[in-house]
Amino acid sequence: MSLKWQNTELMELMQDFYTLTGIRLVLFDADHRELASYPSAGETFCACMRTNELFDRQCRESDKRAFDRCRQTRALHIDKCHAGLTEATVPILEGERILGYMMFGQITDRKNKEETFETLSALVREYGIQGNLEGRIKKIKYRNEQQIRSASKIMEACTAYVRLKDIVQPSGKQLIDSIERFVEEHIREEIDVDRICREFDISRTRLYETIRPYTEGGIASFVKRKRLEYAKYLIRTTDRSIPEIASAAGFSDYNYFLRVFKKQFGVSSKTLRKN
């Protein structure tokens, strides 16, 4: 799912994080696509190693395991990648929904520099990576356990900050998809603008501005259409009575349901049932 972000503000935040910790920070969307980073991958050890197809695939699998763990726990996750380097990942949350992730990595908690150099040099030989990577290996930063934990907590605070300031936010299409799923899951319940704003932790103004290109008539009309579509589906696929279906679709006023159903579909619910 795609994200929108304020590039200048995001880059400033990432640069501040790097200035404070000396660690590269990366933003991913909920589908694990890398969107932004500071500094850029450039000539880092990992970037060079990922030119190898097998190594790159294992990197992606390692990242996915970290993302899956964050998705399950909704919390910070610190682990080692398949190359033995330390990574930390934290989800960017909107309520209980995950919009994306922040991650840092390409650091080591091995204090012995020679051991780190030998281990990673062996990895280069194992994958047959061409070129001299000695300089890049030597640039990999060492951080002890407490420093890694502290940097992780700062990164976690950064995710809260980007949501508070709307530096990172879901695209309009992503928000509509999320609202649609929410309405489907709570179709029998009372759903209004205030409830949606609370559920997705957004203001009325931002909600209207974001969804305007994707809906006609606002949230109330959107919810009503979803209720009517669900009622139409039940009429076609079940033997339940029309009043039961109206209630199941969230209409408390049966006569109102009959009127809006015919207006929406050009045929009455009873005629649709007969046909």
Straight-line distance from the first to the last Cα atom of the chain, in angstroms, rounded to the nearest whole number: 40
Instruction: Give me the average pLDDT of each 10-residue run along the chain (275 residues).
Output: 79 96 93 90 84 93 94 93 95 82 94 92 89 86 96 96 84 79 92 89 81 78 92 94 95 95 92 88
What is the DSSP annotation of 153-183? Answer: HHHHHHHHHHHHTTSEEE-HHHHHHHHHHHH
Within 13 Å of residue 15, how many CA atoms lie on the same side as its CB?
6
Of 103, 29, 98, nearest in space to 59 by CA: 103
Residue 217 burial (C-beta neighbours within 10 Å; 0-12, 13-18, 19+): exposed
204-234 tens-digit pLDDT: 887 887 777 777 778 888 899 999 999 999 9
Cα–Cα distance measured from residue 78 to residue 27, given in angstroms and rounded to the nearest whole number? 16
For 267, phi then psi, to 5°, come to: -150, 150
Q: What is the chain's percent helix, strand, coil content, to nearest 5?
A: 60, 15, 25
List the domains of the chain with CATH numbers.
Answer: 3-170 (3.30.450.240), 172-274 (1.10.10.60)
Q: What is the pTM of this model?
A: 0.67
